[in-house]
Amino acid sequence: MTKTHKELEVYGVRKLAEVYAGLDHEQVHAALCADDPNFALIEGPQFALEYAGGRLAMACRAWEAACLENGVKDEGSVKIFLRAVMNSFKTPEHVAAADAFSSYLHCGDEDQGAAAAVTEKMFQRIKVDAILATAEGSQRAASAAFERLMLLSESFRTEFENDFFEFIHS
């Protein structure tokens, strides 16, 4: 079933409210602190800002990918979620949030998945190493915190796209 532009707008606003409501940044921050003590050095409000910016960027990327995968080709409809996010940054106190969001939205390249790009960018912005040396010192591996955030991001993206699929075909 094809959805109208208005139905997509209503759904986009509802999904944005769900993203904001489901941020659970305090719980995520606590889990990352358990994985990597360097996360404890990041103040809760700063982590919340970065986490929200990354999550919103993931949602925008997921919306656009889901549109294309489900035959929504109208540029206005493809950009509905992005416009809703941008509208949520209308007041001056949201400048830092808009900056973080923009940084995550435009990170990575075509070959890098959205979850990897956003997670890597977050680690760069908060100045925590994503890759750590192993006990042997010669091998390097992703930190437990990086892996956790990657899994959370990929899970979020998949759920977002699946919800879109169910909506578009209902």
What is the C-alpha to C-alpha distance for residues 70 and 42, in angstroms, rounded to an integer? 39
Q: Is the predicted pLDDT of residue 88 greater than 60, yes or no?
A: yes
Q: Could you read off the pLDDT of 11-70 as tens digits, one per residue? A: 999 999 999 998 899 999 999 999 988 888 899 999 999 999 999 999 999 999 999 999
Q: Is the predicted pLDDT of residue 7 greater than 70, yes or no?
A: yes
Q: Could you read off the pLDDT of 121-169 as tens digits, one per residue? A: 998 898 887 665 455 555 556 788 888 999 999 999 999 999 999 999 9
Residues whose CB is less than 8 angstroms from the CB of residue 125 and which lie 6 or more positions away in sequence, other chains included: 50, 100, 103
Q: Could you read off the pLDDT of 138-148 as tens digits, one per residue? A: 555 678 888 89
pLDDT score at 142: 76
pLDDT score at 113: 84
pLDDT score at 104: 94
**DSSP one-letter code for 145:** H
Residues whose CB is less than 8 angstroms from the CB of residue 67 and which lie 6 or more positions away in sequence, other chains included: 73, 77, 78, 164
Q: Is the predicted pLDDT of residue 89 greater than 90, yes or no?
A: yes
Identify the bridge partners of residue 141 per DSSP, sorted by sequence position.
Answer: 132
pLDDT score at 115: 87
Q: Is the predicted pLDDT of residue 103 greater than 90, yes or no?
A: yes
Name the packing angle between helices 44-69 and 114-126 (round to 10°).
Answer: 160
What is the C-alpha to C-alpha distance for residues 61 and 107, in angstroms, rounded to an integer? 11
